[in-house]
Amino acid sequence: MKFTRTKISDVVVVEPVVHGDERGYFVETFREDKLFNFLGYKIKFCQDNESKSSVGVLRGLHYQLHPAAQTKLVRVIKGRVLDVAVDIRKNSPTFGQYIAVELSSENKKQLLIPRGFAHGFLVLEDNTVFAYKVDNYYSLENDRGISFSDKTIGIDWGIDFNKIILSDKDLKQPLLKDMQDLFEYGVDYYV
């Protein structure tokens, strides 16, 4: 596995080694020991999630508050997405900045998104299957979100907003500047 820090160094692109031949392929999608060796600390994943979506569906930007905050390791099993992580740690030098990475069944890339980041993705192909591991269980009372179209963040989704398909929940998400429930830079949310 190859681990590459992005311009926001806490967000990491994970590229597994794909072993392929005429029969198909084999790939290790997660290795706790290799992730630990790269990060220097353990992440204990406890729940796997999966969604299937049509082209134009945008899910996010979502996060959970502490003590239910989540680290996510996300990937695409079938299809293609534009995956986005936004730094929502107050006083962070990269507060309000984002990382966007195309994840696909072809490139097999994954994105490791730590606690303190909002996450979302735009589906680029019909019948896309998106899967991810989290290190904390979902909590409705700690569920939060930020508007995908917040101009201060300025995410380039690469699509006309009129073509985006959103849930009612995501249509009503607040702007980052209106959020009181954020993370503090430098606080260890893994305790």
Task: Name the residues annotated as catalytic.
Answer: 62, 132
Q: How far is CA 128 from CA 101, 125, 144, 147, 160, in A?
A: 16, 6, 24, 22, 20
Sheet strands side by side (includes 110-113): 2-5, 12-15, 110-113, 72-78, 128-134, 47-53
Q: How far is CA 131 from CA 29, 51, 74, 108, 119, in A?
A: 11, 7, 6, 12, 13
Q: How many CB atoms lie within 10 A of CB 167?
A: 13
